[in-house]
Structure 1
């Protein structure tokens, strides 16, 4: 539609990343394999998110029987949890809702593809609208265990749309009193109406914002993406919900917002512009980033955990195959670390682990990865090695750096390390096998005097078994 393209946000490049749903983050957290105390910490974070959210979250099996519900959804159903778990979705919802929901759950089970539904229900003579996003869940062994459903109340947005059609006066009153920002722009992107909430959100005065164009508070890349969305809305007439972008405030800082965009028409049905509901989700995004970091990093040292290490090793193998390079995986164990823990206390041991992590991070190359496996074991990934012999130089450098003492609570602590090494492709082309072989080599160092390193060889497997 060239006429709209000429007037709205021309010559910009599109870029929008997919929405990081709370579903993705929760699934990643549950994949962690950490020791009990750390696992409990992450589970507490996970449960806090699930139980404090204003959205309904529940878990059903293939027959749509409830296996779990959060507090928000429990309050909607209005019955004790013990009278809900094990019963079917259809016992609490209309036949129409049950039919559509059951059909969607079966599709999700069969294909793994997520679907988003929108339901209208009646309660106490009033209409309520909700979106439903079911996501298939697997156990650690890959078995399908059920479907997690994330349900959001969108009644306010629906009611706002109805109010616009019913009464201009009532519509204005609602918009001026709602917490979310609201604006209307013409087909050229010029602001023609807005509420006070968007002024508070962006920090502009009423006079300043009244003269602005959509592109004035978003960057060029985002403007191109928004243009594509507006073009689609213009062509189809269908609203667009859940667009996440960054907006630029008056002082140059940025906020994360979620947009709900629909087409405006005059009495003759001609398109006149676009209306936008704008919700500030900055704090939610920060919480999501915090949870994401917990999912991929060790809480004590801040280093990548085993899950992130495996991801990086897998990507390194793909690159090494393509570029015909080598990879080294090192399993590093601190010698006699238990003695320090037992004699000086766990707080000293924890500080020592943090010191080791910091020292190794400063020693390694930018593209290398050091990961804490748990306890006093660390994994090191050295990608893009040109010669296997280079590994000897690097590992000797690591052992040498442990000759320098660690200063913990005004104590000079000295500790040595035992390191096992497995290389790609010589020792394996599989992620888990490389880690296992490095561990076997490290075990042989520990059993032969410590404070040294060994490269894995197949004879070690026989000796370990014996």
Structure 2
């Protein structure tokens, strides 16, 4: 500043109501730039500059001052004839300007006080924004916000990774373009959760089993919550959605459900799943006036194989038998393992009982072929008992019981054959059980 300006600045600030203020004056813009650049202007609260000083380059000088210390607010002093330059300076980043023709101690103090207050508020907002930015990028959830029209205004780092869109690319685009969500079952587009949140002015969640399709086509299961954002008057100004990848959790849940219904050794359905399918098959047969057949079988002399060759060989043999059983039936049928060397096969929607006999004969032939286990060929046979709905039982329990009785008869007939259940078998089985009980 020139001598007169410097005197006015000192007089108005040294005895400020806000306490004593240290004022440094230089006569050249170049000196001011050096002073700011020497320590980054860390102890300097504000700069008052006259852009009409002899070495000033106008706006270029302002930019040099800003570059030397970006965080220090600048007040421009200007003559009335140069007010256009002063206005341009404010557009380029100066906090304010003051006309020298109206310069006095009171006006300068007021302008500086207002400028510093705005600068402090802006700095506080910046710090708060930085804290929010760091927080949003540190959490494990993805965050996307939109304006009231549904156009993207923000993505955090996790959202960028999960959607495949960078914040710069996504900004201003419709949410549906960036956040492509479908129903995992129907494959239909899911409802826009942010639009629903803004429409109902409350938090909403996606329906279960939603899938996010990333920009490159990769799919991941997600769970989310969307909520509207409001201004000071309570008006909805946009919405934010927070979501996270649940693919691993869903896969784990599906795996646990699978394990609960399947045999660990053979991965065939277990008793639990068979009973469920058998109940459904009986209901279907009742509706369509068809039959359903249960084939109960076990491996002949399997205990001898386990005892002589070991359980490891026995397990491999059971796995080989399971594969052949599956190959003998339709996709709509069910092959299950009941434990040990026992298997149960459900034939659903059977037209005639002879179809069950045909399948049993296929099984007898398939299982009897040599099984290559390790370096040896093992040859085994199975015995099969057959019960048919509705003649041999009206429910799952009765059919399984009677198929087991028929299996006992197949073994009594020399093994490696199949037998249909007959009512006389039930009477003989009951009499035999009573006789064994009395003998004990």
How many residues are matched? 300
Bigger radius of gyration among the two: 2
Q: Report what 2:151 is aligned to.
A: 190
Q: Report what 2:69 is aligned to.
A: none
Q: Report what 1:259 is aligned to.
A: 224
Cα offset, 1:405, TM superposition: 0.8
Residues 448, 261 of structure 1: CA spacing in aligned structure 2 closer, same or farther, 3 A cutoff? same
Q: Does 1:238 align with 2:199?
A: no
Cα offset, 1:201, TM superposition: 2.7
Contact 2:156 2:167 (8 Å CA) reproduced: no
SS at match of 2:369: coil
Question: Superposition pairs for residues 254-403 of structure 1, below 5 Å?
Answer: 254-403=219-368
* Greater strand share, structure number: 1
Contact 2:194 2:241 (8 Å CA) reproduced: no
Dislocated runs of 4+, deviation >6 Å: none
Q: Does 1:406 align with 2:375?
A: no
The separation in 1 between residues aligned to 2:343 and 2:354, in whole angstroms, is 22
SS at match of 2:190: helix
Q: Does 1:204 align with 2:165?
A: yes
Where does the alignment leave 5 or more consecutive residues of structure 1 unmatched? 1-166
The separation in 2 between residues aligned to 1:246 and 1:213, in whole angstroms, is 18
Cα offset, 1:187, TM superposition: 4.3
Per the normalisation by structure 1, the TM-score is 0.61
Q: Report what 2:135 is aligned to.
A: 174
Where does the alignment leave 5 or more consecutive residues of structure 2 unmatched? 1-127, 432-440
The separation in 2 between residues aligned to 1:391 and 1:246, in whole angstroms, is 43
1:10-35 Cα shifts (integer Å, max 9, x gaps) = xxxxxxxxxxxxxxxxxxxxxxxxxx
Instruction: Tell which deviates more after alignment, 195-204 or 275-284.
Output: 195-204
SS at match of 1:303: coil
The separation in 2 between residues aligned to 1:187 and 1:296, in whole angstroms, is 48
Contact 2:383 2:416 (8 Å CA) reproduced: yes
Question: Superposition pairs for residues 135-154 of structure 1, below 5 Å?
Answer: none
The separation in 2 between residues aligned to 1:368 and 1:205, in whole angstroms, is 50
Contact 2:299 2:383 (8 Å CA) reproduced: yes
Cα offset, 1:362, TM superposition: 1.6
Residues 263, 417 of structure 1: CA spacing in aligned structure 2 closer, same or farther, 3 A cutoff? same
Per the normalisation by structure 2, the TM-score is 0.64
The separation in 1 between residues aligned to 2:174 and 2:274, in whole angstroms, is 45
Contact 1:215 1:223 (8 Å CA) reproduced: no
SS at match of 1:366: coil
SS at match of 2:368: coil
